[in-house]
Structure 1
Amino acid sequence: MDDSKMVGGKVKKPGKRGRKPAKIDLKAKLERSRQSARECRARKKLRYQYLEELVSSKERAICALREELEMYKQWCSAMDQGKIPSEIKALLTGDDHRTSQSTSKTPKNTKNQAGSHGNSKSA
């Protein structure tokens, strides 16, 4: 006889209910998993690149600060011996009005000013 059933006025055949066959679902699921893994690896790579750039910029900043600290140590040891470094003399004489306006940038300006004054005196 016929295996179809009558449900709510409609004829339904056995084995056609629910999801698609498992093989199609499995293939689609594997492909989605592969795509997700590719995207995850790409995000991870970008994250590591960002972190490496951040670390290198921090290392450069640390080097610059160490150089500045060394310069200040040399100035202090020179002043302990009774000598006034030429950079500080320049700050106290001609460039006094410039340093009073930008006291927060004094360390960086002193390097540039000292280099330019040194060159103008020798020329």
Structure 2
Amino acid sequence: MGCGLRKLEDPDDSSPGKIFSTLKRPQVETKTEFAYEYVLLDFTLQASSNPEVIKINSILDIVTKVENYYLKGYIVGAIHPVIQPVGQRKHLPASYLYRVVLSRLKLSPKNSAAPS
């Protein structure tokens, strides 16, 4: 005897429309004539052994660190603060990590071709 509820299915992260499938790609296309490119940058207020995480003294330093992206046409879409524990045993102090999402509009390849 069943309860009438749908069976749980394994999520397919690669199917279109899923947030995880779009976050894994550097370019997200929409149903319009445009595409968006994005860059994720991670910043920390404490020292990090990860070379991809940029050390800053204050959250205000993020503005100067993303200036080169502004010149390339990117805009800041969001700044996400994340708190991560430092070490396996230590719960305090916490390491503050900020993820900055930059994006820019890019013409789709089908519209960038010259008309013939």
**Shorter-chain TM-score tier:** under 0.3
Q: Which has the higher helix share?
A: 1
TM-score (norm 2): 0.22
Structure possessing the higher relative contact order (Cα contacts under 8 Å, 6 or more residues apart): 2
Based on CA coordinates, which of the two structures has the bigger radius of gyration?
1
TM-score (norm 1): 0.21
Bigger share in strand: 2
